Amino acid sequence: MQSNLFALQLEEMLREVSVNYNQTRSIEVSIEALNQILSKMPPGRVTPQTFSDLKFFKFYSGEGERVLDFKPPTSVMVVGSFLLKTQAKPLLNIDMAIEIPSSTFKDRDKKDFVYYDKRNMYLAHIAQHLQNTQQFKDVSVSNFRGDPLKPHLKIRPIIEKSKAEQMKSRFVINLYPTIKQHIFSPSKHLLPGKVNYSVDKFPPVPELKNLAAGDYNNGITEDMFYDRHLQTIHKICALNSSFRDAIIIFKVWLRQRDMTTSKRSSFNGFLMSMFMVHLYHSKIIDNAMAPYHIVRITLNHLINTNIENGIFMKPEKPSEGNEVEMKYDLALDDAMKGEYLKAFPVVFVDPSGRVNLTSRMSRRCWGDLIYEAKRAKNILESPNIDATAMEAFQAVFLVPVQFGLKYDGYIRILPTKSGVEDTNIPEVVSLLEKGLGNRMSLIQEYQPDVPVLKLTENQPNPNLSTTIIGLLFSPENWKRLVDTGPSADNTTDSIQFKKFWGSKAEVRRFRDGLILYCVVWKAKGIELRHHIISQISKYLIKVHYPNLLERVVIDLGEEHLDHLAVPVPSEYSSSEMADYSASSSHSIIIAHFEQLAKIIKNLKGIPLEISAVHAVSPIYKFTDPCPPKPHPLLNQHHNGPVEKDLHFWAFDGTIQFLKSGGWPDQLEAIQNIKTALYIAMGNSLLKSHNIQNNPTRKYLDVFYSGFVFRFKIFHPPEIIRKVQTTLDFQLTETFYMQLLDAKGEDLSNMAIFSNNAKLPEFSEEVMKLPEHRDLVSRKQLAGYLHALHLKYPAFGPTTRLVARWLERHMLLGHFWYEAVELIVAGVFCGGMGAYEVPSHYVCAFYRVLQLLATHDWAKEPLVVDFNKDFTSEAYSTIKEKYESIPENKKPALFISYISDKFSSLWTKEKPNHLVFHRVVQIAKMSFQKLRESVYPIEKWASGIGEQNRGPVVYQSLFGISLNDYDVLVWLDPNLLPRFNIEALSTKVGGNPPHRHLKKNNSMQVYKNVSNDLRNMMMVNFDPMEKFVEDLEKRLKNIALIFFDPEADVVGIMFQPPEFLINKFLPQRSINTLPVKDPKKNDYVGIIPNIFSILNDIQSIGKGIINKIEIVKGSYKL
């Protein structure tokens, strides 16, 4: 952590969240007033019947013990962060301890819940009393860290600003009953190994179902040490203000990860303070350290703590004022430590040796804490921290880590309809954790906030809440097909393995000669392996808890979205090409391309030697949502019948030759030579390898293994000549190649370019050239994205799903496909983000929607750092370049990556601001739908709301209302090669109501393949795209065109400003009407002629249009 900017940000954050204790006089007066009221309460005798109207309070001991002789508290004191001055806004709580007089208890009261009943009657009596006061009548109640045995009061004082004006304080006072440390002696009777309740007297209530002896005893002892723990922390804070600041910083960090005192099992700010005390007493932290050094060191030691051995704080030395109390401390030997380790999953014992501070914390919650600590450490200690200080700071301290976004998938266990739970749910969670094993980086239960209720409200029934388990997949292991077990010779472990895995357990011999028990899972294709997690979870539940199976919901989203991200063409399911699907065909087509590339590189009989063959197709990047299916007509060995559909989609590639002096200098001559080379390569492929092909003037189509591969020649001098014809700028090939080597750097800083005033114009013109874009920029980006998918296999299906989402909203045509890929790449390259890079494509899709919905596109460029090698200077320069663009020339979104840092090539021309604003708004609505309906974590946990809204919501995400458009042009689906009923008629929701779907089921076939038939093939020809291109040219100034390439409708949205009266201009006079001013009896301008426009549309689409529909309610028409 070397960044000065980061340190400054920490200081600024401390100023923002710290409380100004010079302005807390009003609450201090309230505290004193409360002290006075409690100290003067009259004595009296109370029983549980006294509090029959206070339904929140429950009492569990026998009838004979249910009497309390109430006396005023021995003392009332502030014990928490308010006194330590370690509060962090906006949560402002003041913890106050009310000490119950020792005479209230007898030594036997520690048994059979008597202590808890007396404690709670004491608290209930105080609550009743306070309700009758004017200043403290706003009393509510909650369970201390979710413990149903230990309610505490929450009071919001009324502050009197003047005689006429009162207001509620922004502070909340928490009242906790406490007792003296010596009440129950000897203290060893409350060690976790002792049982202080009788089984026959144990209350049969659901909230105490999993109560253990250690929890029971620890709940009593922790009531003895509020003041003692305060003193322990205060001693260090009084000597070291940095220690206090570090506590505040950690509170912010923990709060952003939803680790607070309102959770039953979490590592909250108090526990972090005590852990820092532990490090201080161990001389790991000292008074000379700055706050951020303390934070870094604490994170390191937290990560390196072996929780298997527990954390045992050093005993404190007696000091003035606490000698009497400390004589009851325990010097823990190994046996006593063993009791703690046996009784609790996480052990963190305070200096007295009597309290486990983490008694309610599960091992999974500890794992979550360590995971988050490692994430923070990796960000703070990143070697590139200077470059990303702002992003790093936001990720660690400012961005809340939401449970519904953090995990790749979720498993829900629904409550029973009766409210009676016979299954031990924690055991089920442990079963899943064991079965999924190292496939998971993290598995965690969702913890709702402990409810704060009125005194008269009942405590919620825990059996009515849904258990939600978050699954964070391990990128290396989660798609593994085989789980190996013990050796077949290990009888004991083998029996356990077979008992756990049931009929799936089998013995196999592996390649290394080992014979092991194992479990084998099946998946259709590598990208469908994400179903393995569902398979394992369902199988384990079925084997061990069959009665629970119908209540288990596995929320990975794949069953609703696979048909869009990983579609499987049904027409090939029973043919020889059954292995071809979108999940596997990407890699299969790439393999065929690589085979073909080797053949082309070694071609004989062409005048120049080929140096490189590169792929630029979306298929190569694994991002094509509908890769071409192999077609028999494109296979040189096929002579059988062929389907009538002769539309094909090509895989694009580039060919580059070794440098040669034989090339001409003139542009036209260069292009003629390229055509000759296409012909020569085609002839060589046909003669030497019998590979059919079709050379043209601009490219070479090769028909190989059932696919079309389209190659274009990249020759740098051709682009140079094109630049020279556009600009009065002379340059050499060396100059151009150095420009390419600059990889998007700021050219003005390079010595070779430093004195050239035309550089900005030159660079921009080069980037805009279609040849440079298609042959250079696209090739460079394809390499980065191909590598990104190999590193993060979810990238490909996520991009396909985002593309489908844009298609279904008729927006994809307004983007370069590369822009969509880069937006998705922004999620996978966001290593400094608050979340781990997603492993599952559905989670990644959710994150893309969040990025679109929340990124400040108008002010911030999206930087996609593929290799994490951008420097701080690069980030600064990108921001400066973006801000220097005039507002009227700024693109709707600006994307920077290694080969295009400053020009945003893929968003410069499109989308326009209006279209991208529409994308952002739809993303916001989609993101909100997912949060509220598919992943409503809080509602699920509380048992309210529909539990299975996924199918309906996913359908709505990929559906669209056509009422937004002014005109709908319905096309004949039988003439649209990409029209896809299966894509629109999904198992999610059937036929979308706004489309008129048709299908020609009488598919004809040609009986024999001939050259004439091959000449009829149409490659990359889409009538809808051509129709839309013509519409855009004709309606460019007055309307926006929207379409879904797999549907049969085109939407037209007229631009309102164009329907105002405009000045007559010859170039804008087509399809207009003159407007006459009746007062002046003269023509004042023109407006669009709708009927003329509609006739124009009809003529453009003659033969392909079914009908033109004017949308009802269109305000422009």
Q: For the structural domain made of 967-1005+1018-1110, what CATH number should be given?
A: 3.30.70.3030
Nearest by Cα to 55 from 144, 127, 113: 127
Greater confidence (1076 vs 628) lies with 628
pLDDT of amino acid 205: 84
Say if 405-453+461-476+532-556 and 967-1005+1018-1110 have the same CATH topology: yes
Query: Cβ distance 657 to 715 under 8 Å?
Result: yes
Q: What is the reported pLDDT for 564?
A: 87
Buried b (16+ CB within 10 A) or exposed e, 971-990: bbbeebbbbbeebbebebbe
Average pLDDT over residues 1002-1017: 52
**Distance (Å, whole) CA 169 – CA 159:** 6
Those residues whose C-beta lies under 8 Å from the C-beta of residue 829, and which sit 6 or more positions away, are 788, 864, 865, 866, 868
Dihedral over Cα of 640, 646, 647, 653: its sign: positive
Tell whether the model's pLDDT for residue 419 goes beyond 70.
yes
117 backbone φψ class: left, alpha, beta (φ>0; ψ -120 to 50): alpha
Among 474, 46, 13, residue whose Cα is nearest residue 248: 13
Helix axes 4-17, 291-304, angle to 10 degrees: 100
- Gap between the Cα atoms of 379 and 795, Å rounded: 22
Q: Summarize pLDDT for 1091-1107 with one digit per residue, the tens.
A: 888 898 999 999 999 99
* N- to C-terminal Cα separation, the chain: 61
For residue 168, give every residue at least 6 positions away whose Cβ sits within 8 Å of its Cβ, in sequence order, or none: 138, 156, 157, 158, 159
| Radius of gyration of the CA atoms of the chain, in A | 36
Could you give the percent of the chain with pLDDT greater than 70?
Answer: 85
Cα 320 to Cα 231, 262, 1004, distances in angstroms: 12, 34, 99
Residue 580: how many other CB atoms lie within 10 Å: 21
Q: What is the pLDDT of residue 157?
A: 92
Kindly report, residue by residue over 349-387, the tens digit of the pLDDT. Answer: 999 999 999 999 999 999 999 999 999 998 888 766 555
CA–CA dist 980, 1046 (Å, integer): 5
What pLDDT does 140 receive?
95
Rounded average pLDDT over 550-559: 87
Mean pLDDT (whole number) for 491-502: 94
**What mean pLDDT is predicted for residues 812-841?**
90
Per the CB < 8 A criterion, the answer to whether 935 and 927 are in contact is no
834-845 average pLDDT score: 91
93-117 pLDDT tens trace:
999 999 999 999 998 899 989 999 9
Region 582-714: CATH code: 3.30.460
pLDDT of the residue at 978: 86
Q: Which of 259, 256, 358 is nearest to 307 (CA)?
A: 358
Residue 661 has a pLDDT of 83
pLDDT level of residue 581 (50, 70, 90 thresholds): very low
Average pLDDT over the chain reads: 85
Q: How far apart, in Å, are the Cα atoms of 569 and each of 575, 583, 887?
A: 11, 11, 47
Mean pLDDT score, 1108-1113: 81
Query: What is the rounded CA–CA span in Å between residue 607 and residue 679?
Result: 12
What's the confidence (pLDDT) of residue 186?
A: 63
Strand 93-99 with 172-178, pairing: parallel
What is the per-residue pLDDT for 1015? 63
Selection from 658, 677, 761, 784 nearest residue 716 by Cα: 658
Average pLDDT over residues 459-472: 88
**Residue indicated by tokens 């009084």:** 238
Q: Output the pLDDT for position 901.
A: 87
pLDDT higher than 60, residue 998: no
Domain ranges in the chain are 405-453+461-476+532-556, 582-714, 725-774, 789-959, 967-1005+1018-1110
Asked whether the predicted pLDDT for residue 445 surpasses 80, the reply is yes
Per residue in 933-992, pLDDT (tens digit) is 766 677 666 655 555 556 677 777 887 778 889 999 999 988 888 887 654 543 333 334
Listed range (426-440, 562-576, 859-873) with the worst mean pLDDT:
562-576
Q: Which helix (H) or strand (E) holds 173?
A: strand 172-178
β-strands 895-897, 862-864 pairing = parallel
Structure tokens at 415: 């409550």
Copy the structure tokens of residue 200: 């026959």
C-beta neighbour count of 737 within 10 angstroms: 13
Round to whole Å and give the CA distance between 560 and 955: 8
What integer pLDDT is reported at residue 1001 of this predicted model?
42
Provide φ and ψ at 785, rounded to 5°. Answer: -75, -35
Beta bridge partners of 702: 693, 709
SS3 745: coil
Q: Which two tokens stand for residue 875?
A: 């980030």
Contact 838, 827 (CB under 8 A): yes
Pick 789-959's CATH classification: 2.60.120, 1.10.1410, 1.10.3470, 1.20.272: 1.10.1410
Average pLDDT over residues 298-308: 96
**Own/partner long-range contacts of 417-425 (Cβ < 8 Å, ≥24 apart):** 419/461, 419/463, 419/464, 420/206, 420/463, 421/206, 421/209, 421/463, 422/547, 423/545, 423/547, 423/548, 424/210, 425/467
How high is the pLDDT of residue 1003? 39
- What interhelical angle do 795-808 and 558-565 show, nearest 10? 80
Model confidence pTM above 0.85: yes
Q: What is the 3-state secondary structure (H, E, C) of 1084-1095?
A: EEEEECHHHHHH
Confidence grade of residue 873 (pLDDT, cut at 50, 70, 90): confident
674: which residues sit within 8 A by CB, 6+ positions away?
Answer: 713, 715, 718
For position 416, what pLDDT does the model report? 85
Give every strand in the sheet of 139-143, ordered side by side: 75-78, 93-99, 172-178, 151-155, 139-143, 453-454
Torsion angle (degrees, nearest 10) of CA 966, 972, 977, 980: 70
Q: Does the pLDDT of residue 44 top 50, yes or no?
A: yes
Answer with the residue of higher pLDDT: 215 or 8.
215
Tokens for 949, please give them.
């809204």
Q: What CATH architecture applies to the domain 405-453+461-476+532-556?
A: 2-Layer Sandwich (3.30)
712-734 average pLDDT score: 75
- To which residue do tokens 């889409």 refer? 1022
DSSP 396: I
Q: How far is CA 1077 from CA 679, 1059, 1064, 1074, 1082, in A?
A: 64, 16, 14, 10, 6
DSSP state of 166: E
- pLDDT tens column, 122-165: 999 999 999 999 899 999 999 999 899 999 999 999 887 655 55
